[in-house]
Amino acid sequence: MKNGRLDGRSSVWAFGVALVAVGIVLVGSGCGGASDTGSAAGSANESKNLGAGTDASSGGVFSQGTGADGGAMSPYDSATAGDPGPGGSGGVIGAMDEDNGIGLKPGGAQDINFFRLLVQKGDVPKSKDMTMEGWLNEHDTKLPPADPAKVITLHAHTGMLKTSAMPEPTVIVQLGLNAAKNLASFQDTVGVAVVIDRSGSMAGSKLEMVKAGLKELVANLPDKTQFTLLSFSNDVKTEWGPKSFDKAADVEPLTKVIAAIQSDAGTNFYAGLEAGLQAVAQTEVKPKFRRVVMLSDGQPTVGTTQESLILAMAKPYVAQDISISTVGVGSDYSTSLMVNLAQIGNGTAHFVNDFENAKTVFVEDLETMLTPVASNLTLAFELGEGFGFETLYGFDWVIGKDGLVQITGPKKPEEPAPTTGEDATSAPDTSSEDAGVAPPSIPKLFASKKNGLLIARLKAPKDMGVGNLLNLLVAKVHYGYDLDKDGSHHDDVAPVIVDSLMIGADGNLSYFTGDIVRRAFVVLEQGLAMIASTEAYWGGQTGAATGILDAAIELTEKENATLQDGALDAGQSLLEMLKANMLKVPVAPNDADAGSTDTKSNAPEVVGSGADAA
């Protein structure tokens, strides 16, 4: 690892910390140095049970943890069916299991379907074609039932690891947020403008996918939604509304309107977005929640085309509490514009690559698109003695004079686009320590059918001693939020404690609250491997790239023999396809500036299904 980044010359990298979203998983290394992924992570997870999975070269690894062996899991499911939560509450729930509460999730990229599509076509994508947030948000992490005495419950799961293969201890803290109330208790009046790109570049399967998804949205749209449908090419056309949606009367005529939309001319993305924003901003009856959904390949060709100007135009509307979500389509999709727009718009970004995937996005993720639950979530970490904070993927942070690590919000999008050379783990600017009011860590929390993952990294204490550590405080997480329904503010603190940790004479240790945390290690390493290997490949280091993938594949095979997790299987398949693509066309060092996404592929545009995504 160099400057905190994954080094393409080696198949080793440090573990990250995972925030599990809202699971938040914090995965940390003792010094931020590199460790062998295959052996270190493997040892971490094979030694979960006391006295089992010992490292023969180290004289044994002591561990204490809980978790149930499960059957084969579907993609997006977590591996554990019986992890106890903090306070001894038993069982885990899916994000939308309303008998036990609903899941909560931040906005931003929700998948890596564009990256996956390129791999399925036989290409080797650039690392910029996926985001770690999107990869982690694809995964569902089941949580204990929400506390009915609280509006929003924060759960903590922990893990600590040190083996002979990993000289510095790794620390894991997994946080998850859910609510005990059902979805209806959070729903309020909603204003939605859906804006369809009908330009010539959308002709054929791309526009038809969008129409298929929209028809599903209309069939599931809540009554009394203030709904507007617009389309754009060179110009902008209002296809429907704005009007209050009446399910009994409007489904059939609105479906016919959608079917009649035809592609033509150029892509005036700026004008289409501006019209959508104006539509929800200027309604006579102001809904409680207002959102614009942009459906496009994100390739502006007419009018204002510069990404920075498009984002700048949107920001004043976002300041009026109007959110923006994006749905991208096609293999020439602009990841940068669509993801950055959703990020600055406090919304969600999806990519659809076939008809079933399009329907899934508009049905299963409809609640996420339309039901914000809380705003201005603040997170601050009060670290236990000796623990240090290194980075949190996708978020900025500062250390205040009180020593609290304050998460200051999602990383600001680069304009016009993030560069692959950006140092993801460079120290943040701490010049704002004296700011009076902490900015929100996560502007919006949405109801969701699945809880994704966010990533950070901690430093463990340098010397944890030998013997049995009781009630070891890793951190206290201070959090607060405003409920969108009534505006009320709530604050709470969640301690993160290892109840009993045995450290052997050789310093080795292993502790996991349960298989939820074990799984997070593997998910994280799969994502890091995809980013690191594509960086190495396009840097002319095909051998190093395939070595990185081999280590992640080996880790997945080893851990999934126990976890039996379908999502991990799907991730392994993606790694294997990516490796095969690299071996077909090795890249020489002088080809490093070329990229598979810079030229069009001759392969069919729509391949495979996002439904098998990890």
**What is the identity of the amino acid at 502?**
M
Q: Look at residue 470 in the predicted model and tell me its pLDDT.
A: 78
Taking a C-beta distance cutoff of 8 angstroms, is the pair 474, 497 a contact? yes
Please say if the pLDDT value at position 592 is more than 80.
no
Per-residue pLDDT, 378: 92
pLDDT digits (tens, 9 = 90+) for 96-107: 445 556 778 777
Instruction: Among 18-27, 528-537, 593-602, name the most confident range.
Output: 528-537
Distance CA(138)–CA(142), nearest Å, equals: 13
Evaluate if residue 364 carries a pLDDT over 50. Answer: yes
Q: Answer whether residue 604 shows pLDDT above 80.
A: no
C-alpha distances (whole Å) from 218 to each of 213, 215, 246, 256, 293 are 9, 5, 10, 11, 13
d(CA 86, CA 94) in angstroms, rounded, equals: 17
pLDDT in tens, 25-59: 444 444 333 333 333 333 333 322 222 222 222 22
* Portion of the chain with pLDDT greater than 90, in percent: 29
What's the alpha-carbon Rg for the chain, to the nearest Å?
A: 24
Q: What's the predicted TM-score (pTM) here?
A: 0.72
Q: What is the per-residue pLDDT for 228? A: 96
Mean of pLDDT values over 351-357: 83
The b/e string for 75-103 (b: 16+ C-beta within 10 A; e otherwise) is: bbbbbbbebbbbeebebbbbbbbbebbbb
Crossing angle, helix 542-563 and helix 37-46, to 10 degrees?
10
Going through 132-199 in order, the beta strands assigned E by DSSP cover 153-163, 166-179, 190-197
Q: For residue 522, give the nearest of 477, 565, 584 by alpha carbon.
A: 565
Q: Which of 378, 375, 377, 442 is nearest to 405 (CA)?
A: 378
Residue 200, pLDDT above cutoff 60 = yes
273 pLDDT higher than 80: yes
CB 534 within 8 A of CB 123: no
Residues, the chain, total?
Answer: 614
Tokens in use for 470?
Answer: 């009781």
What residue spans in the chain does CATH classification 3.40.50.410 cover?
188-370
Residue 115 — very low, low, confident or very high, per pLDDT cuts 50/70/90?
very high
pLDDT at 2 over 50: no
Q: Given this model, what pLDDT does residue 501 score? A: 74
Is the pLDDT at 360 greater than 90, yes or no? no
Among 36-40, 373-377, 419-423, 449-453, the range scoring the smallest mean pLDDT is 36-40
Is pLDDT of 555 > 90? no
In this prediction, residue 44 carries a pLDDT of 30
**Lowest-confidence pick of 58-62, 250-254, 362-366, 525-529:** 58-62
Which pLDDT band holds residue 476 (cuts at 50, 70, 90)?
very high
Instruction: Kindly report, residue by residue over 411-428, the tens digit of the pLDDT.
Output: 766 555 433 333 333 334
Of 210-214, 245-249, 437-441, where does mean pLDDT reach its minimum?
437-441
Q: Are 500 and 468 in contact (CB under 8 A)?
A: yes
Q: Which tokens hold the place of 520?
A: 């997070």
Residue 322 has pLDDT above 80, yes or no: yes
Please state the three-class secondary structure of 402-448 as a single string. Answer: CCCEEEEEECCCCCCCCCCCCCCCCCCCCCCCCCCCCCCCEEEEEEE
What does each C-alpha distance from 24 to 17, 193, 204, 312, 483 come to in angstroms?
8, 31, 40, 30, 20
Locate 213 and state its tokens.
Answer: 């998804």
Structure confidence at residue 611 as a pLDDT band (50, 70, 90): very low
Classified by CATH at the fold level, domain 188-370 comes out as Rossmann fold (3.40.50)
- Give tens-digit pLDDT for 117-161: 999 999 999 998 888 888 888 887 777 888 888 888 888 777 777
CA distance 268 to 236: 8
What pLDDT, on the 0 to 100 scale, is given for residue 260?
A: 96
Give the model's confidence band at 521: pLDDT under 50 very low, under 70 low, under 90 confident, else very high. confident
Residue 260, both tokens:
């009649």
**Any idea which of 263-272, 306-315, 355-364, 402-411 has the lowest mean pLDDT?**
355-364
Q: Which two tokens stand for residue 18?
A: 């995972």
Higher per-residue confidence, 240 vs 333:
240
- Mean pLDDT, the chain, as a whole number? 74
Over residues 564-573, the mean pLDDT reads 96
The pair of structure tokens assigned to 561 is: 């023999």
Q: What is the pLDDT of residue 451?
A: 67
